[in-house]
Amino acid sequence: MVNGTDGEHLPSDELPDDDPRFEDHGLLAGIPEDEDELPGVPTEIRLRRDDPSGTIVLDRPARRNALTRRTLTELETAFDDLHRAGPVRAVILTGAGSAFCAGTDLREIRSQVGDDEQRHLWKEDADRMRQLLQTMLRFPKPIIAAVNGPVRGFGIALLAACDIVVASERADFALPEARIGLVAAQAAPLLSFRIGAGATSYLMLTGRTIDAQRAREIGLVHETLRDDLVWARAQELAKECARGARESIQLAKRLINETIGETLELHDAVAAAYTATARTTESAAEGVRAFLERRPPRWS
């Protein structure tokens, strides 16, 4: 069951494991072979079926669904599973608890930020984030973000990689990376594509938080609703998308993301390099420390 923003259970048509219609499509079978240190059962996301949709739930509510390296790997696996699930015609991405996504989990990287010798690790992280965004952009089915609460940092990039965004009226949005010595590089190309360079510059350079109404005005969000209606509206949109022919939907996505947005892949590669480089700076080390110590940063 997926919990709503107030903890209530949303309607579900989940099937028991022994039902012949039940399919887990490999999600519980494990993580890719290059991540052998990870247990097979996902722990940082949840996946459910409500045909014609499949819902991916970011499931770290105690950390406001901040993303770790493991989360990114599990998201890749989930998208692959839902790609192969024939009855699933659209994917809903949402968060558990009161937030959608707080961005990257700084606790995971704090001991290594600012260390130039860790550049190879930052490159691996940036490449992993870039791969996830490319997976979403190339995904042949509509991806609908059901934004149940605040979104920060790389969470904004996830939104911009979705095709449709519906949000709670109490959701808000920010790219605070510059305030902690980092760069919201991987959100920049997608945001520029979706909402334009001007609005992207405003968000990246000021680090200011905008509310759901403003996000809708600039095109980051398509619809705003009461908290308890967000997932249900996303499911309605999934059903609307399912009325279209599979081939037509897939071609429409390719037209938008690969033809109109033909330079996105190149820009994403450059953004990944900037993301990795920013983490090696002294500013990043001080900014992350200050954030986790809940104090203002002391810039050199």
What's the first-to-final CA gap in the chain, in angstroms? Answer: 49
- The whole-number pLDDT of residue 225 equals 96
Taking the domain 27-292, which CATH number applies?
Answer: 3.90.226.10
Q: Of these residues, 44, 74, 76, 177, which one is catalytic?
A: 177
Euclidean distance between CA atoms 199 and 140, whole angstroms: 28
Q: Is 177 among the catalytic positions?
A: yes
pTM for this structure? 0.82
CB distance 156 to 187 below 8 Å: yes
Asked which of 120-134, 206-220, 223-237 is least confident by mean pLDDT, the reply is 120-134
> Side chain identity at 243, as an amino acid letter?
R
- The whole-number pLDDT of residue 279 equals 73
pLDDT 10s digits, 89-125: 999 999 999 999 999 998 887 766 655 666 667 678 8
CB distance 90 to 141 below 8 Å: yes
